[in-house]
Amino acid sequence: MSGSDELRLAWQQRPLVLDGGMGTALIQRGLPKGASPDLWNLENPTAVEQIHREFLAAGADLLLTNTFGASPARLAPFGAAERVSEVNQQGVKLARQAMGEAQNSTEPQNSTELRRFVAGDIGPATLRYAEQAQVLIDSGVDAIVIETMYELREFVAAIKAVRAVSPSIPLIAMMTFDGETTYDGTKPETVVETAERLGCDAVGANCSNGPEEMLPVIKRMAEVQSRCLLAAKPSAGLPKIGNGRTDYPYDAQTMAKYIKPFLELGVRLLGGCCGTTPEFTQMIRRYVNSPCLASRVSRE
């Protein structure tokens, strides 16, 4: 059974825990202001791999590669538009190294400790996605995650690019919301309908203005009849920038109050975005592993 097949089996068995804020973690490790987080795959691979390891230790089932901005358009301002293959291949390699290929290849299918997976991460890229999608899929990711899409046309372009490369790879697509619409005015219901029509496995929201504002969005998505699973990856609120620091209003304990509401809405892939830490990942894992949730999932 391929990694992609096992991933589809895993998320049917129970909710999966996504990792948290890679960019935030890199800044804490010294990523200079205005620098490319993706180029640190090449310039500081030890830091990137260590962050992956910390999220794994906290209980993440699905690691997102450090490739959010590793498209030609996003790398061009750093003089690295020709390094798309190198940056994305290294991003996949670092996630795999953190996870350990031996564990992935030997863990039995029915293990209670589910196999871990790697998803190629694609962020907004001014409608140019095909090259990055091709490299990530060729590098052997188990899934693709499209996230932080502000406009429906970019959302559509990214999904179509991935599906042109691979009609079958698991595909999770998320948009960012300001209130209960995206920045171009797209409604949650339209996002779900679009994702289903274009062949996504899961659809949802990420980043946005924090978990409290995201809950109504996910609720509206849950009310749409769709075969797509639901995904939620809220940020730790709107950051405040001052005195050379970026502070987020929600700590892990506050974020944890929203785990149960998201899962009760039917979210099957839950993690964190900007400002979220391995501590929050650990709290999601504890809740997912709790006997009460396991009992409820087994009855569904």
pLDDT in tens for each of the 300 residues of the chain?
889 999 999 999 999 999 999 999 999 999 999 999 999 999 999 999 999 999 999 999 999 999 999 999 999 999 999 999 999 999 999 999 999 843 544 444 444 356 899 999 999 999 999 999 999 999 999 999 999 999 999 999 999 999 999 999 999 999 999 999 999 999 999 999 999 999 999 999 999 999 999 999 999 999 999 999 999 999 999 988 877 778 899 999 999 999 999 999 999 999 999 999 999 999 999 999 988 665 454 445
Write the single-letter amino acid at 95.
A
Q: How many residues does the chain have?
A: 300
- Closest listed residue to residue 139, CA positions, set 86, 184, 178, 191: 86
- Name the one residue in this structure whose structure tokens are 């538009």: 81
What CA–CA distance (Å, rounded) separates 227 from 224? 10
Burial 215-236 (b: 16+ CB within 10 A, else e): bebbbbbbebebebbbbbbbbb
Q: How many CB atoms lie within 10 A of CB 90?
A: 23
Helix (H) or strand (E) holding 256: helix 252-256
> In this predicted structure, what is the pLDDT of residue 103?
53
> In this predicted structure, what is the pLDDT of residue 242?
77
CB 274 within 8 A of CB 23: yes
Kind of pairing between the strands at 171-175 and 202-207 = parallel
Burial 26-47 (b: 16+ CB within 10 A, else e): bbeeebeeeebbbbbbbebbeb
What CA–CA distance (Å, rounded) separates 265 from 234? 15
Domain 3-299: top CATH class = alpha beta
What CA–CA distance (Å, rounded) separates 48 from 98? 9
- Closest listed residue to residue 271, CA positions, set 26, 82, 59, 77: 59
> In this predicted structure, what is the pLDDT of residue 112?
37
Q: Which tokens belong to 93?
A: 């390699």
- Phi, psi for 32 (deg, rounded to 5): -65, 150
Distances (CA, A) of 106 to 6, 53, 55, 56, 116: 13, 19, 21, 17, 12
Domain boundaries, the chain: 3-299
> In this predicted structure, what is the pLDDT of residue 229?
98
What global pTM score does this model have? 0.93
